[in-house]
Amino acid sequence: MKRFSVKVNGQVYEVEVTELKSGESAPAAAYTAPAYSHAAPAPAAAAPLSTGIVHPQPTTYKAPAVKHHSAAVERIMKQAAAGKSEPEAPIAPGGFVVKAPMPGKITFMSAKEGAKVKKGDELMVLEAMKMGNSITAPVSGVIKSVNVKEGDTVLGKQTLLVIGE
């Protein structure tokens, strides 16, 4: 019989080995190793998770009445109440109508009535949502009428000017 030291998973074991002759069977084991299960124990039931988000109940808020409006805002409010989508503007026959792409305020105006413009020339700057939007001439021609001035508040699709031939 021979004695050996065996290391398994970092643990050192001493074992005795007997050499068997042909036809001999192994003697009964003097030591029975404990049975190990590879399955991990079931975890304990976890408490429900909290996201930390609070869902408030809906409330009604009444905004205070606005007391002062600029003249442009008053004009637009009256037009909206009357069912008009834009101010009355003279449209030159055969002219090309340039409309506001969105509501905003005219912050710069370079277009003058009677001026010749080429396609792509900047006519004015419309500020909307704190961004300046350049309004350019969609066609070449002569400006027939200018319906807004610098500082005016305009509605979306409101006629800004008319370019004729």
Mean pLDDT of all residues belonging to the chain: 77
Q: Tell me, what's the pLDDT at 55?
A: 61
One-letter amino acid at 80 equals A
Q: Tell me, what's the pLDDT at 90?
A: 46
- Beta carbons of 154 and 126 less than 8 angstroms apart: yes
DSSP string, 27-96: PPPS--PPP---SPPPPPPPPPP------PPP---PPPPP----HHHHHHHHHHHTT-SS------TT-E
Mean pLDDT of 38-60: 62
Backbone angles phi, psi at 30, to 5 degrees: -80, -20
* β-pairing verdict for 159-164 and 116-117: unpaired
Mean pLDDT of 60-68: 61
**CA atoms of 123 and 80, how far apart (whole Å):** 26
Q: Is 68 exposed, middle or buried (0-12, 13-18, 19+ CB in 10 A)?
A: exposed
Q: Tell me, what's the pLDDT at 2?
A: 81
* Domain architecture of the chain: domains with CATH: 86-164 (2.40.50.100)
Mean pLDDT of 114-132: 91
Q: Is the pLDDT of residue 49 over 70?
A: no
Q: Tell me, what's the pLDDT at 78?
A: 73
